[in-house]
Amino acid sequence: MPDLPTPPHPAGAEVSHGSQRPATPGSAPEYEQPLVSIDVVPVTYADEELRICLAPRINPPHLGELALPGVLLGRERSVDAAQRALRVKARVEDTRGIYFRDIGVFDDPGRDPRGPTMAVVKLAVLSPDVEAGVRVPVTAIPALPFDHRSIIDASVYALQGWMWRDRTVTRALLGESFSARDAARVERALATATGGSGAEVNVANLKRRLLATGWVRQTDRLSAAPAHGGRPSYLWEWVEEDPEP
């Protein structure tokens, strides 16, 4: 749930929120118009860990506590609001090229002590070199305000389901070139993040799955030698998609 400004507001602006909500003439209190927010779950994979980028809240309630970046939806598309949340709350300087995936709507009536709110949640996979808020391993998420922990859990499960099914998401997680061992580590990190065992992935089987996607091809270039020993692996690269006719 975002810090609440008073809508409408210009994109990128931070405005202190008030306690009044727009009233609908003749409406009963139980039909109070909920505020609509865009909450973003920024995910990155680095150092063999899946991490969530959190940001300190700048307004009460929960002032100063880590939370997901979010903003109220203004007169803009939801993806524009998601980009604004990353810029203003997570301090991501350049949001161009960041792809978002819809997770769902969270609208429990008691999710915010200030009144009814509806959060449209989007997942964003960030490059490891992007500066963004406070990166926390998924396996060590602290207590979070509102329903942000439930939002993260749902997002990580969705991310695991998109691996090797959603080309854009998979490419964002793995980078432009990767070894089969790198891909196996990502799969283990996702399994661990969703409560699985994180057991070893059979690399030979994974290579067959990589080829079956038609998305990637093995090159003749080798990765750097593993720090813990072992031989370098061949790198894989993405096959560019054929342009639509």
4 within domain boundaries: no
- The more confidently predicted of residues 189 and 14 is 189
**pLDDT single digits (tens) 108-124:** 988 998 888 999 999 99
Number of separate domains in the chain: 1
- 1 found inside a domain: no
pLDDT at site 13? 35
Structure pTM?
0.84
Tens digits of residue pLDDT in 199-209: 778 888 999 99
pLDDT at 120: 98
Residue 11 lies in a domain: no
pLDDT band for 8, please (50, 70, 90 cuts).
very low
Model pLDDT, residue 200: 79
Mean pLDDT of 33-62: 93
Q: Give residue 11's pLDDT band: very low, low, confident or very high (50, 70, 90).
A: very low
Q: Residue 73: inside a domain, yes or no?
A: yes
Mean pLDDT of 42-61: 93
CATH code, domain with 131: 3.90.79.10
Q: What percent of the chain has pLDDT over 90?
A: 67
* Residue range 208-226, pLDDT digits in tens: 999 999 999 999 999 988 7
**Does the pLDDT of residue 228 top 80, yes or no?**
no
Mean pLDDT, rounded, of the chain: 86
Q: Is the pLDDT of residue 166 over 50?
A: yes
In a domain, 16, yes or no: no
The 3-class SS string of the chain reads: CCCCCCCCCCCCCCCCCCCCCCCCCCCCHHHCCCEEEEEEEEEEEECCEEEEEEEECCCCCCCCCEECCEEECCCCCHHHHHHHHHHHCCCCCCCCCCCEEEEEEECCCCCCCCCCEEEEEEEEECCCCCCCCEEEEHHHCCCCCCCHHHHHHHHHHHHHHHCCCCHHHHHHHHCCEEEHHHHHHHHHHHHHHCCCCCCCCCHHHHHHHHHHHCCEEEEEEECCCCCCCCCCCEEEEECCCCCCC
Query: Does the residue 48 lie in any domain?
Result: yes
Q: Which domain holds residue 135?
A: 34-238
The whole-number pLDDT of residue 21 equals: 52
| Residue 26 clears pLDDT 90, i.e. is over it | no
- Give the residue with greater pLDDT, 20 vs 226: 226
Euclidean distance between CA atoms 106 and 1, whole angstroms: 10
Question: pLDDT at position 231, please?
Answer: 85
